[in-house]
Amino acid sequence: MTTTVGQYLSARLGQIGLKHHFAVAGDFNLILLDELLAEGSTKQIYSCNELNCGYSAEGYGRANGAAAMVVTFSVGALSAMNAIGSAYAENVPVIIVSGAPNTNDHGTGHLLHHTLGNTNYGYQAEMMRHITCAAEVIFSAEHAPQQIDNAIRTALRERKPAYIEIPCNLANAACAAPGPVSSLLSEPAADPASLDAALEETGRFLYARDKVVLLVGSRMRASGVIDLLPALADRMGCAVTVMAAAKGFFPEDHPAYRGVYWGEVSSPGAQELVESADGILCLGPIFNDYATVGWRATLKPENTLLADLHGITVNGRVFEGFSIRQYLEALSARAPRRAGSAETPRQPLPTIAPAPRDARLTNDEMTRQINTLIDGNTTLTAETGDSWFNAVRMDLPGGAKVESEMQWGSIGWSVPAALGGALGAPDRRHVLMVGDGSFQLTAQEVAQMVRYELPIIIFLVNNHGYVIEIKIHDGPYNYIKNWDYAGLIAAFNAEDGHGLGLRATTAGELAGAIEQAKANTRGPTLIECDLDRSDCTETLVKWGTKVAAANGRAPKVN
């Protein structure tokens, strides 16, 4: 039984649970795209450019566990690299497939279009190796199945992107047909001795502590066991905090929830709770400069148990040979009750009083109104900028999800990522908060939301510049050309779209626009929220000052 290389790939993508793949056409991938369409396990979704294609796949992978995208050689793939860097940094398994030169052109001295103008065509794979966990360059149909499987399996296990390069004359070449998918999806069994030793050491750590707190980090998204956390918290009886990048990873209406731990810009009470605890179970954290508020919020190693995707560090020892899923599943059945921290009650978030309808729109009022829109079935995507801080200060119902990109932090990510998220989780409401500066990078992807009739509600925060940068370090480079953001939607609709572009300058206009957005089910609604440039969250100002100080440290002189 045979198939073609392209159809083999297509079948595998369907078998791992994808319903869509993202693509931008180019002559090195056209036959591959034909093969994907012919096999038909996944629907082909088109992007305006390869950067957006990558971010869309990254957003889809967050919602759906994995994603795939197809680009053309060099001009496509090199554009996609920023997004693949994002998938790497944020632990999202995105399979990036690039069309490539005909096998007969390798090693012949033939000079090809879309290349650097020299005759070694291996450079793209070399570059991709740095930002993927597996990079497979296919040179024969015979070996393609194993190479495709290796890339997909590695991506799913490592929770990182993987690269597959398919020459344009091999996409429809015959190869063996795919068998059952089990080996790609199955997790290697845990090493029982190591897991048992890790649990014993965890027990020793926990029994020796009076005040234990769970601290949930953003790498838990990749663990696939976020849903296990409430049961673990119930068993241990302790308080739970989340890091800013993991906002929404623990139900905020759960009695154990105590808010976001983010050093000096934590939710009320969360900093004292975490920093006074003598046992902090850090689950999938990323302690970078932003998360530590410029290296100020660093936890004492002797007080922490660090559980990462493939092992734990506790009491000065490293245990590996199991996944965080296997560890947390076992811990949920064995963890001792450690209720000390639960005695500290949750401190309420500052409330924002509703503004009069004719009052000038403020950042507070905008955030208050967006917060009321979010129900337990909403995914809120928050772009880099003050949108992070606005998302973090929201009071969310259980079931609400937040997506942000705090490790990679590439502005423009959120527009395509929200599109991918909406395709990956079509039954949820999708809300996006994006600043004007970020929007200008990837704005054209709203046209694809129109095309695919995705009812994403976009809050375009027009605060007239790169406000987070203004707070970190001001200069003329932080001021941007204003656009008629709401007016763009008419252009994107053209003759057949159902997008809606609205503008709010008062509290009442915003409330009216949100009602219109809820009723618009056949396309995106972009609500341009006009704010003063000086109007931002207090936490951004406080955090920005500390991060600026960390950036500004003088070089060490020996």
Residues lying near ligand DPX in the complex (CB under 6 A) are found at 383-386, 409-411, 435-438, 463, 466-469
Q: Which of 256, 277, 504, 522 is nearest to 398 (CA)?
A: 256
Taking the complex as a whole, how short is the minimal distance between the CB of residue 465 and ligand DPX, in angstroms?
6
Alpha-carbon span 476 to 485, nearest angstrom? 22
Query: Quick one: tokens of 41?
Result: 């396990």
Residue with nearest beta carbon to ligand DPX: 435
Of 26 and 435, CB closest to ligand DPX: 435
For 209, residues 6+ apart whose C-beta sits below 8 A from its C-beta are 277, 278, 279, 338, 340
Taking the complex as a whole, how short is the minimal distance between the CB of residue 386 and ligand DPX, in angstroms?
3
Of 205 and 413, CB closest to ligand DPX: 413
Of 60 and 413, CB closest to ligand DPX: 413
Alpha-carbon span 436 to 416, nearest angstrom? 15
Taking the complex as a whole, how short is the minimal distance between the CB of residue 535 and ligand DPX, in angstroms?
10
Contact in structure between 14 and 181 (CB atoms under 8 Å):
no
Binding site as annotated, residues for Mg(2+): 436, 463, 465
Burial grade of 521 (CB within 10 A; 0-12, 13-18, 19 or more): exposed
Alpha-carbon span 166 to 146, nearest angstrom? 13
Of 100 and 434, CB closest to ligand DPX: 434
Taking the complex as a whole, how short is the minimal distance between the CB of residue 442 and ligand DPX, in angstroms?
10
Of 101 and 524, CB closest to ligand DPX: 524
Query: Quick one: tokens of 171?
Result: 């996409």
Taking the complex as a whole, how short is the minimal distance between the CB of residue 499 and ligand DPX, in angstroms?
20
Taking the complex as a whole, how short is the minimal distance between the CB of residue 485 and ligand DPX, in angstroms?
11
For 355, residues 6+ apart whose C-beta sits below 8 A from its C-beta are 361, 362, 364, 365, 507
Taking the complex as a whole, how short is the minimal distance between the CB of residue 71 and ligand DPX, in angstroms?
19
Taking the complex as a whole, how short is the minimal distance between the CB of residue 83 and ligand DPX, in angstroms?
11
Binding site as annotated, residues: 436, 463, 465
Contact in structure between 386 and 407 (CB atoms under 8 Å):
no
Of 47 and 410, CB closest to ligand DPX: 410
Contact in structure between 279 and 211 (CB atoms under 8 Å):
yes
Contact in structure between 454 and 498 (CB atoms under 8 Å):
no
- Burial per residue of 523-538, b for 16 or more beta-carbon CB atoms within 10 angstroms, e otherwise: bbbbbbbbbeeebbbe
Contact in structure between 444 and 49 (CB atoms under 8 Å):
yes
Alpha-carbon span 64 to 84, nearest angstrom? 17
Contact in structure between 165 and 137 (CB atoms under 8 Å):
yes
Query: Quick one: tokens of 237?
Result: 């009886």
Of 259 and 412, CB closest to ligand DPX: 412
Of 385 and 455, CB closest to ligand DPX: 385
Contact in structure between 545 and 395 (CB atoms under 8 Å):
no
Instruction: State the number of CA atoms in the 13 A half-sphere of 134 facing the CB.
Output: 23
Taking the complex as a whole, how short is the minimal distance between the CB of residue 89 and ligand DPX, in angstroms?
12
For 78, residues 6+ apart whose C-beta sits below 8 A from its C-beta are 124, 127
Of 335 and 461, CB closest to ligand DPX: 461
